[in-house]
Structure 1
Amino acid sequence: MATARAAVLLAGFILSAVILMPLQWFGLKFGLTYARSLPNRYHRFLCRLVGIRVTVRGEPYRGGACLITANHTSWLDIPVIASLAPCSFVAKSEVAGWPFFGTLAKLQQTVFVERERRTRTVHSRNEIHTRIAAGDRLVLFPEGTSSDGNRVLPFKSALMSVAQLAIVNGEEDREDNLVVQPLSVAYVKLNGIPMGRYFRPFFAWYGDMELFPHLWEAFSLGPIEVIAEFHEPVTIREIGNRKALAAYCEARCQEGLVRALHGRADEPQVALAAPQEIRPLAAGA
């Protein structure tokens, strides 16, 4: 049954992506409005297909441009976070060259960063800033890699420097006013039972794990439950500097992860579904 489940889900994932890829390319090529919301709708479908039930805590920032900083556990973070609202991601440049997944990332207008070349950091920072200033919601994983899902790794502050730049709106220059919101993502249950340290590596993708075998293994298991918690948004003016901002976001994500893994995430639940609203998403709905 596990093998059959994995085969059906993997086939559904690949087939649905292949069908939608030309449509998304066409929308981006000609600047059609649906190209912004289509990835969000696709990831909501993918969560339902795989059996990912997302519980959302806290309030996402709705006041305009925003940089989301999240802890990174798995490739599953992408459909989980992208199912919450239209957004794009910041990823390492190597992802652009990955077969199939690199194309998907480009179609979601991912910003690719050459993390090993300091001379490219300023260019990446400026591109991120330009996208956010234009109204895009970008998701950054400041750990720089993925973890085992049981802890949050130190947040790197280099790309946080984008928050030091100004957002220009017409003739108004609002210096240091870029909003940054931490988002913690925790994988908490498998088949309705607390996941624990034994099963979490089946979903956490880190170290030297191969992607496709890990994908197959994750698809072979039952439905999972994820808690995504939005934390208090801040600006760099409020927090002081980019290192303090990185420390703040790391602390909030760590607190949210620990709360979720210990079953203490009891804040009022918020929704999840339409591009302009958020409501609970039930597995298999």
Structure 2
Amino acid sequence: MTGWLRAAVLLPVYLAVTAALIPVQAALVALKLPGAVRFPRFYHRLTCRLIGFDVDVVGTPVRDRPALFVSNHSSYLDISVLGSVIAGSFIAKSEVADWPLYGLLAKLQRTVFVKRERSRTAEQADEVARRLEAGDRLILFPEGTSNDGQRVLPFRTAFFSVADRRPTGRPLVVQPVSLAYTHVRGMPMGRKLRPAYAWYGDMDLAGHLWTALTLGPARVELVFHPPVTIDDFKDRKALARHCEQAVSAGVAQALQGRSTAALALIGHVLAQRGPAVEGGALQVAEEDEPLDPQEIDAAEGEATSEDVRV
């Protein structure tokens, strides 16, 4: 099947499936049923299969308690990739609520919409804290915008203010997540093809989705790093630095084709810099240095991990 024909078939199917499932999720949300949290994961898994995403998961997402997942962000497609693995809701900029179709889907997944004004920071942190207090797991893109998928932008420390709140009376669990689009049609994607999946700048959304559908099956690497809490660090800035470092290193490993061992490698290297603390969290210095490729190479022989295909 040619790329154009593939897109011509898949796009109507995707829209039809989405239209059919919207009333189901709307009813679950309106009736406040437990399925309102789980059903979006089913939808996102189905979406990934339709688009042709083969999601390889390294590590284990936190499942038994409220948590804040922090991930790099390169595209609206990240939503389905992360949503296919994590049963939770997203934190997104308020503009997303007005997007055609995706705005509605975001609302139905109980997305927390935030404005960028500093005057609203405390109020919005309260809303996030309330959701966590209710037992929700939330997914945050702390870069504050999407990018070309080749790198990780600096994390905005203000987004980590909720980690100080202890919404459940205990330190909030924060889990860094690395996401990378690595292969298309079984071949390494490379810099030229990655913009077909990375949506940033002034790219047209509809045209971008059409292009992604024409390319065929793609592989996405999703690395869940060891969870941490604010108590493991001096302050939220140190927490943000640690998460940024872990996510950036995971993306770099995935793009180098070594992602199946990325979690164990990064955990091993970080563990050499500071003692492990209870719960799998890692204590790191306030001024962390970037992971050295030689450190990764030295640890590679000792690292092990498990791939889980979605």
Same fold (TM over 0.5): yes
The residue number in structure 2 matching 1:201 is 195
After superposition, residues 1-285 of structure 1 pair within 5 angstroms as 1-115=2-116, 117-168=117-168, 173-174=169-170, 177-267=171-261, 268-271=305-308, 280-281=309-310
Quote how far apart the aligned CAs of 1:270 are: 4.5
Structure with larger RCO (C-alpha < 8 A, sep 6+): 1
Distance 1:142 1:237 in 2: 20
Residues in 1 aligned to 2:144 and 2:248: alpha-carbon distance in whole angstroms: 16
Q: Secondary structure at the match of 1:266?
A: helix
- 40-49 or 29-38, larger mean C-alpha shift: 29-38
Higher-Rg member (1/2): 2
Secondary structure, in 3 states, of the residue corresponding to 2:179? strand
| Ranges in structure 2 where 5+ consecutive residues have no aligned partner | 262-304
The answer to whether the 8 A contact 2:260-2:307 is kept is: no
TM-score by length of 2: 0.84
Contact 1:190 1:225 in 2 (8 A): yes
Could you tell me how far apart the structure 1 residues matched to 2:101 and 2:260 are?
38
**Could you tell me how far 1:26 is from its partner in structure 2?**
1.0
Structure with bigger helix share is: 2
SS in 1 for 2:258: coil
Structure 2 counterpart of 1:147, one-letter code: N
Percent of pairs with identical residues: 49
Deviation at 1:85, TM superposition (A): 2.5
Identify unmatched segments of 5+ residues in structure 1.
272-279
TM (norm. structure 1) is 0.91
**Contact 1:59/1:270 (<8 A) preserved:** no
**2:161, 2:155 → 1: CA distance?**
13
Contact 2:61-2:86 at 8 Å conserved across structures: no
Q: Distance in 1 between matches of 2:240 and 2:14?
A: 35
The two structures, once aligned, show a CA RMSD in angstroms of 1.1
User: How many correspondences in the alignment?
Assistant: 266
Take 1:85 and 1:70, find their aligned partners in 2: how far apart are those partners? 12
Distance in 2 (CA, whole Å) between partners of 1:86 and 1:270 is: 19
Structure 2 CA distance, aligned partners of 1:62 and 1:126?
23
